[in-house]
Structure 1
């Protein structure tokens, strides 16, 4: 069975013009909402990739300072191996896909599918509604930055801390 994305069937229906949704008369389709979804999906995917880089840095960290380089401290070596494996698969024989990197990859695929679906629907609207197309193009050309931060203030890098041990 081929690897499909979470919204593959909806995307295919939208591409073929077969996706339908019933709206009440109070629902209005706005070009700006499609533009904001496009922008924010892109920002969210960038944030996910940054988190994946952090997970990879954690799994690649050489010295954890837990005694893992001391031959007699098997428990320290085991603990570090588990930490690494929870960040990203290091040893396929012992690590599972229940780790931060792979779970973030699943989230990335979902956000990517949402973006593709909305982009496809927006394109169909653009092809059939000149006013929608003009507004969408205007919005896309002048979008403010996404509020989804990829480098939030106070970010703590792996291996560093901003508070002393024992303080909260």
Structure 2
């Protein structure tokens, strides 16, 4: 049996109409939150895949410049093997899943589950509330770019710094 995703139970409850949450009278549900969560989950998943690609590139890097090409420098060979294994699994016999690529995959699954859960709930609202559906559709059709993907367009979010791979 495949591993259950982190929020599988909640997603199934939402799909079957059995998920309920108690709100106070001051809490309202509006389309904005659902639309922006959809957008930002997608942007976050894209960013995670980009980071996984960087980890894969690190794990497959040929020349590290640490003396690993010299047979007598056993410590250089060991160090390069550890660096590669911390970026992504290179040798399943010796590398653990405690590496950047696998940890990012866990994060991807969580974000994907959050997106599916919110999408399922939003669809229920869309099916039962015409005003919600119209506003959600309007927002999705005119959605601005996510601040999560701002770095891709050359724009930096306030308070953040973009550091390239291998730079400090």
Common fold, TM-score beyond 0.5? yes
Aligned length in residues: 160
Q: 1:67-95 deviations in whole A, cap 9, x for unaligned?
A: 00100000000000000000000011110
Q: Structure 2: where are the runs of 5+ without partners?
A: none
Aligned position for 2:96 = 96
Q: How does 1:38-77 map to 2 (within 5 A)?
A: 38-77=38-77
Shift of 1:98: 0.1
Segments of structure 1 that go 5 or more residues without pairing to the other structure are: 163-168
Runs of 4+ in 1 over 4 A off after TM superposition: none
1:136 aligned partner: 136
Give the distance between the partners of 2:92 and 2:123, measured in 1 at CA.
42
Q: TM-score, with normalisation over the residues of structure 1?
A: 0.92
Give 1:138-153 correspondences, 5 Å limit: 138-149=138-149, 150-151=151-152
Measured after TM superposition, the shift of residue 28 of structure 1 is 0.4
Q: Is 1:156 equivalent to 2:164 in the alignment?
A: yes
Counterpart Cα distance in 1 of 2:130 and 2:18 = 21
Structure 1 residue 123 corresponds to structure 2 residue 123: yes
For the aligned residue pairs, the C-alpha RMSD in angstroms reads 1.2
Any idea what the Cα deviations from partners look like across 1:23-68, whole Å, max 9, x if unmatched? 1110000101100000000000000000000000000100000000
What TM-score do you get using the length of structure 2 for normalisation?
Answer: 0.92
**Alignment match, 1:19:** 19
Q: Distance in 2 between matches of 1:132 and 1:154?
A: 37
| Displacement of 1:155 | 3.2
CA distance in 2 between partners of 1:6 and 1:55 (Å):
23
CA distance in 2, matches of 1:117, 1:69: 50
Q: Where does residue 30 of structure 1 map in the other structure?
A: 30
Distance 1:101 1:95 in 2: 12
CA distance in 1, matches of 2:138, 2:86: 44
The whole-number CA distance in structure 2 between the counterparts of 1:89 and 1:157 is: 19
Greater per-residue helix proportion: 2
1:78 counterpart residue number? 78
What is the deviation of 1:3?
1.0
